Amino acid sequence: NAGVTQTPKFRILKIGQSMTLQCTQDMNHNYMYWYRQDPGMGLKLIYYSVGAGITDKGEVPNGYNVSRSTTEDFPLRLELAAPSQTSVYFCASRAGLAGPYTDTQYFGPGTRLTVL
């Protein structure tokens, strides 16, 4: 299994441009998450999904959109990039079944985004 993969690894955007960060998992996990991490800070949840067709906002959803058309994919869309969105973005997934051993989140390698 590749686990959680993210593309691209790096991206530079100009203010006002848009882009989609891709996230794919091959573990057949129900739950998927998008986090952002600013320098020296912990991770903050942007959006999450409990299954195909179901998404919900996290702590910092403004400026982002998501969709979940399949179990495997959970893309994050930035419509009008702003310098405040300069960050490292991590996608994660977990099985979501009841029980402590299925509650572990598996993270992708991250996408480093700079908005100038």
Partner 1 sequence: DAKTTQPPSMDCAEGRAANLPCNHSTISGNEYVYWYRQIHSQGPQYIIHGLKNNETNEMASLIITEDRKSSTLILPHATLRDTAVYYCIVRPNTGTASKLTFGTGTRLQVTL
CB–CB of 92/58 below 8 Å? no
**Which positions from 12 through 71 interact with partner 1, judged by CB under 8 A?**
31, 33, 35, 40-45, 48, 50, 56, 58
Segment lying near partner 1 (by CB under 8 A), choices 13-21, 65-73, 77-85, 94-102? 94-102
Instruction: List the structure tokens of 56.
Output: 């919900």
Q: How many Å apart are CA 111 and CA 95, to the nearest integer?
A: 23
CB–CB of 34/48 below 8 Å? yes
94, 49, 44: which is closest to 75 by C-alpha? 49
Binding to partner 1 by residue 110, rule CB under 8 A?
yes
Q: Which is nearer to partner 1, 13 or 89 (CB)?
A: 89
Please report how close the Cβ of residue 104 comes to partner 1 at its closest, in angstroms.
5
Q: How many Å apart are CA 11 and CA 113, to the nearest integer?
A: 5
Binding interface with partner 1 (CB under 8 A): 4, 31, 33, 35, 40-45, 48, 50, 56, 58, 88, 90, 92, 96-100, 102-110
